[in-house]
Structures are given as structure tokens and as C-alpha cells.
């Protein structure tokens, strides 16, 4: 497994005023399904997993995750974990367009590239953070390599294959809409697209004028041809690690994430529905997502001394256990009391948070 490329880069802007920009190294390695590029920030920490991210269709690691990981409160996390940002093949900056007839990897094959990355870096375990197609890829990897995944943060996960009705709607939309518009409909809610906010305009411009638009279309097609994960609560196919599911309250994938939550072990799963976050909560609500991520890590035994402030001050936050009705009432009372004192209750996953 030979290294194809290694260059040293820095973040485009400092994460905090007066802070030295974080150094990073970009690598490319060969896998059985082609070359994959990834960028590493920080150095490995003893007895701690790496945070590995995987982006959605139409994006790369920077456009998908940079607002989140450059957020001020996130610095407490990234100082304690090495980060690996994976770019799907052909999605990295400056990627050449694949030749005509190129067979793009399936999402299952993209998941099978991850062991090559970890082997190259000599990393044993990860905490996966994925959005959309990236969330599916990390889910597939976690199901086939459960011993190497300590936790998953899945934003806009759709674990289901497309049904006949979905295919018909997709084909009909394809007759009247361009590829960029179809991908924008995947990334943002109809309310966001109708409002044509500055964020939507920015990403419409990024995708429409992308020099690798042909590559993006190939990734898009692989996502639409995904297999069903066949998750089943109490069944053989399920995650063996803590999971945090995240979705905006008006996101196009809200129903899929709610269904996914119903298929997972409630004692291992946290469900965060974020108000006013649209289809991309990591872009529109990085502060709330950072706070939830800290809480998630705390439940896993990391970041024990982390200060939970943003979510805990939300008067509209509600926390309900999936274990029982009595558990629901107990958990809700606990959060209400803790909110008054400015701290969130610690404990294992297995709850729902609605944050506005």
C-alpha cells in the first residue's frame, strides 16, 4: 500500500484570534477500489480513538465540516483527538475528472476503503462523524468492522435503499431538474431553497460551477443505488457502539432518521432533532452540534471535565429515555432541574433531545 501524495497545508484561517493555525497533512493511498485522499489534523493521543469524518454528496471535507471544526467551542474537542477527514474519490480539491466509462465505487466499496486508511495511519479505533452519504458509508463500515468503531455521529442518515416509488420520483425529477438542483434538494429543505438564503446561494454556486461535477454525479448515482442496511432493533444487524443521530426539524431526511432511530438499541442511541437548522445542521448550528458532541463524548467516558453550557441553557430542550414511560418522566425532570443549574446530566446514551 504505497503513499501516492503527501503535502503539508494549514487551515485557511485561524480557529481562534491569536491562535496558531492547525497543521495538517494530506495523504492518498491505493485501495482495492482505487485511490482515496484524506487529511489528518493533530497527532494521535494515547488510548484515544481518532475522529474520522465522511462528507455528503456535492461536498468535500472542507465544505461539509470546516464551519463545525473551526467553531470556537470545538477547540476543546480537537485538542484531545486526532482528526482524519476523508474525501470520497474524485471529490478532493483539484481532483481530475474521471475518464468516460469509469466505474465509480459503490457506497459499500467506499466503506471498504476505510480499513486501508486506518492501516496506513496505524490507527486502531475511530469515532465516525458522517453526513448523508457519508453517514451511510460509516454505518456500513461500523457494521462490518464493529471492533474498530467506538462511536458514531450520523447526520441525515438514510439507512434504506430506494423503493420503486422513490425511483419513480427520482426519475421524474431528473427529467425536469439538473444534477446540481437535485443534489441541492438532497442537502437542503424546500423552505431553505425557496428562501434562497446566502448559505443556499453559496452552495448552489459551489456545486453548479464545480470543475469535477461529473465526479459528483458519479458519487450521487452511487448514493441512489445504495443497499438497505437492514438494521433491526434486537436483531443481528445493529451497531455495537454508542450512536448519536442528528437531523434538522425541517430537513429532507427527517423521516428517514426517525425511522432509523426506531431500529436501533435505545440504550445505545441518542437522537438529536435540531430546530431552525435546516438540512445541514453542521453548517447552520455548529454551536449546538458541538455541545451535543461534547455530551456524547462525555457519555463515552471522554471529555469528563467538559463544560456543557449551550444546550443546557436551552429552556426548550427536552430529554426522554426510550426505556420506559417512567424513565421518560424521570429523565425529563432531571434535565429540567439540571438546566436551572447550568449543567447537563451525564450518563449513557438512550435519549431524545429536541433543541431550539
Report pLDDT digits (tens) over 1-24: 444 444 343 344 444 444 455 678
The crossing angle, in degrees rounded to 10, of helices 179-187 and 213-224 is 60
Residue 326's contacts (CB-CB under 8 Å, 6 or more residues apart) are none
- Which pLDDT value is given to residue 227? 95
pLDDT digits (tens, 9 = 90+) for 305-341: 555 554 444 433 333 333 333 444 333 333 333 333 3
Task: For 25-304, give the CATH class.
Answer: alpha beta
What residues in the chain have per-residue pLDDT under 70? Answer: 1-22, 163-176, 305-356
Amino acid at each position: 500500500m504505497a503513499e501516492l501524495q503527501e503535502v503539508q497545508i494549514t487551515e485557511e484561517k485561524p480557529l481562534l484570534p491569536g491562535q496558531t493555525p492547525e497543521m495538517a497533512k494530506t495523504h492518498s493511498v491505493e485501495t482495492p477500489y482505487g485511490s482515496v485522499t484524506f487529511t489528518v489534523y493533530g497527532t494521535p493521543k494515547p488510548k484515544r480513538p481518532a475522529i474520522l469524518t465522511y462528507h455528503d454528496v456535492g461536498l468535500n471535507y472542507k465544505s461539509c465540516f470546516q464551519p463545525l471544526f473551526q467553531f470556537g467551542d470545538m477547540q476543546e474537542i480537537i485538542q484531545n483527538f486526532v482528526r482524519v477527514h476523508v474525501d470520497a474519490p474524485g471529490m478532493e480539491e483539484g481532483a481530475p475528472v474521471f475518464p468516460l466509462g469509469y466505474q465509480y465505487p459503490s457506497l459499500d466499496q467506499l466503506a471498504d476503503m476505510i480499513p486501508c486508511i486506518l492501516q496506513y495511519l496505524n490507527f486502531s479505533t475511530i469515532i465516525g462523524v458522517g453526513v448523508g452519504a457519508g453517514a451511510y458509508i460509516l454505518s456500513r463500515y461500523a457494521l462490518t468492522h464493529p471492533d474498530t468503531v467506538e462511536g458514531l455521529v450520523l447526520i441525515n442518515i438514510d439507512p434504506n435503499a430506494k423503493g420503486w416509488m422513490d425511483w419513480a420520483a427520482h426519475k421524474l425529477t431528473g427529467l425536469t431538474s439538473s444534477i446540481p438542483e437535485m443534489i441541492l434538494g438532497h442537502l437542503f429543505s424546500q423552505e431553505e431553497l425557496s428562501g434562497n438564503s446566502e448559505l443556499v446561494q453559496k452552495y448552489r454556486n459551489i456545486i453548479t460551477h464545480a470543475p469535477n461535477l461529473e465526479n459528483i454525479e458519479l458519487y450521487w448515482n452511487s448514493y441512489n443505488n445504495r443497499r438497505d442496511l437492514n438494521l433491526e432493533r434486537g436483531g443481528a444487524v445493529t451497531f455495537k457502539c454508542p450512536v448519536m443521530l442528528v437531523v434538522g426539524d425541517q430537513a429532507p431526511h427527517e423521516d428517514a432518521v426517525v425511522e432509523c432511530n426506531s431500529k436501533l438499541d435505545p440504550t445505545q442511541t441518542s437522537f438529536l432533532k435540531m430546530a431552525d437548522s435546516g438540512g445541514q445542521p453542521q453548517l447552520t448550528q455548529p454551536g449546538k452540534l458541538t455541545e451535543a458532541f461534547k455530551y456524547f463524548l462525555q457519555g463515552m467516558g471522554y471529555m469528563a471535565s467538559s463544560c456543557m453550557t449551550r444546550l443546557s441553557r436551552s429552556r426548550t430542550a427536552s430529554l426522554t429515555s426510550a426505556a420506559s414511560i417512567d424513565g421518560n418522566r424521570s429523565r425529563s425532570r432531571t434535565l429540567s432541574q439540571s438546566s436551572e443549574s447550568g449543567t447537563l446530566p451525564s450518563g449513557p446514551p438512550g435519549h431524545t433531545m429536541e433543541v431550539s
